Amino acid sequence: MVFNTKMIFALLFLCFSATCVFAGDPTLEFEWKVTYGTIAPLGVPQQGILINGQGPDWNLLLLPYHRSPQGLWWYRYAQGPQPTLIPVPFDNPAEEYPVLLGDWYNKGHKSLKNILDSGRSIGRPDGIQINGQSSNVGDANAKPLFTFEAGKTYRFRVCNVGLRLSVNFRVQGHTMKVVEVEGSHTVQNVYDSLDLHVGQCMSVLVTADQTPKDYYFVASSRFAQHPLSTVAVIRYANGNGAASPELPPPPPENTKGIAWSISQFRSFRWNLTASAARPNPQGSYKYGKINITRTIKLVNTRSSSNGKLRFGINGRASKGDKVEVAPNVVNGTYRNFVEIIFENHEKTIQTWHLDGFSFAVAIEPGRWSPEKRKNYNLLDALSRNTVQVYPNSWAAVMTTLDNAGMWNLRSEMRERAYLGQQLYLSVVSEARSLRDEYSLPETQELCGIVKSLPKPAPYT
């Protein structure tokens, strides 16, 4: 089948390139021929989805990633120098490299879906991939994924696109300067390694200031019972020598590892003087001075229904013996300022995604209580869309319900979301005005319990 992706592609492009606005035509047209083919990110041949005959093992214009039991999702990113309309708080890099990393299953997406539909867990991943490839230290056949020239600085846009595992990444012999997290420019701190949880993205700058030879880009699992790792080769132009087999060490695990990771989270702070994203009296950027109108507390749960695995929120998950999520809608008042508390009573890390952007103001061990608000970052917390919650810990985000519509709040662990751990936030504007919300398209198809109902009148 062939897709004309003019509008969809433009939206994906804007989402992935939130810090860069380009002059010229805001849309691009592509024709995709979508077929099945053979791919092997971990060296094991399996069925995958190809676009124009290409799969997830090339580092060019398009790159698919393994995100959902239903199939593959896609990102598009810009290549080469282009003029920016909104200035960024760092010099243009010599090159930008997208890095889509995460866990991978050798089972195909249909097999994974069938497992979930039967009420079972998809289990442990088989490995870690970087841009659709996986290599071992010392692999003589590994081709370089990234190229450096001595003295130049490169931007890596890194996303964890796995289904289950948090990942730590690091660059052998080099430091990384974090400059952006999910569209928010950050205070530019330098790190040896960085944790990236499922569904999260960040940009780092790496300067090629080492002896010209090969180095490894390393990705390894975090907080996993059975650790997984992989490497990708960075090659200096005119370099001489293979990468050292001594990899930079991963951060600690267990309780010390959680404390280490929370400390790193707290070090990510919003750059309040950069580009367009700065505090202003009219908007929600001065979030610390806005009165909270509602607190929503959400606790992830794991249970069984008729012998089938279910995940839920506050004990609510699927109902009956079918793998169908029961309607789970939270009504929100338009333009209210809401505090959402995520509590994790389980022994595994969680990540949550709310459509739109929220201020991630705190993550701490234990249970949340109103007294914990004194520990919130009410000045320069990052505005982002995905937040992690460590085992037996909580996280707090604040958001303004200034966009009317139905917004999905879900676990980013696709297994958990698919089996019930998600809900919808309904934000209704009483004005019913095009100022606040678009009308339902005339071509919109209705299904489920609303299939036989009349469509709502268009807004004016």
Query: Which tens digits make up the pLDDT trace of 143-194?
Result: 999 999 999 999 999 999 999 999 999 999 999 999 999 999 999 999 999 9
Q: Count structural domains, the chain.
A: 2
pLDDT at residue 27 above 80? no
Residues 6 or more apart whose CB falls under 8 angstroms from that of 290 comprise 284, 337, 398, 400
> Is 336 part of any domain?
yes
Q: How confident is the model at residue 108 (pLDDT cuts 50, 70, 90)?
A: very high
Residues 317 and 394 in one domain: yes
Query: Do 247 and 309 share a domain, yes or no?
Result: no
Among residues of the chain, what percentage have pLDDT more than 90? 68
Per-residue pLDDT, 321: 40
Q: What is the reported pLDDT for 433?
A: 87
Query: Hey, CA dihedral for 79, 81, 87, 92, is it positive or negative?
Result: positive
Residues 183 and 312 in one domain: no
Q: Please, what sign has the CA dihedral across residues 36, 41, 45, 46?
A: negative
Strand, coil or helix: 34: strand
On the question of pLDDT at 99 being above 60, the answer is yes
Could you give the CA distance from residue 156 to residue 147 in angstroms, rounded to a whole number?
Answer: 12
Q: 437: domain range?
A: 287-450
Where does the pLDDT of residue 85 fall: very low under 50, low under 70, confident under 90, or very high at 90 and above?
low
Once rounded to an integer, what is the mean pLDDT over residues 292-297?
Answer: 96
What is the predicted pLDDT for the residue at 305?
85
Question: In DSSP terms, which residues pair with 299 in a beta bridge?
Answer: 343
pLDDT of residue 70: 34
Same domain flag for 212 and 250? yes
Query: Any idea what the Cα angle at residue 393 is, between residues 387 and 399, rounded to 5°?
Result: 35
Residues paired with 339 in a beta bridge: 295, 398
Same domain, 237 and 362: no
Q: Among 239, 267, 295, which residue terminates a domain?
A: 267
- Confidence band for 73, pLDDT divided at 50, 70 and 90: very low
For residue 21, pLDDT beyond 80: no
Same domain, 228 and 305: no
Say whether pLDDT at 79 is over 70. Answer: no
Arithmetic mean of pLDDT, 210-220: 98
Q: By mean pLDDT, which of 155-164, 172-181, 197-206, 418-427 is the weakest?
A: 418-427
| Residue 339 near residue 294, CB atoms below 8 Å | yes
pLDDT for 283 beyond 70: no
Region of residue 163 (left: phi > 0; alpha: psi -120 to 50; beta: else) = alpha
If pLDDT is split at 50, 70 and 90, which confidence band does 272 have?
confident
In terms of DSSP bridges, do strands 46-51 and 62-68 run parallel, antiparallel, or are they unpaired?
Answer: unpaired
List helix spans (H) across 223-271: 254-267
Q: 411 forms bridges with which residues in the sheet?
A: 352
* Average pLDDT for 11-24: 41
pTM of the model: 0.86
Same-domain status, 215 and 340: no
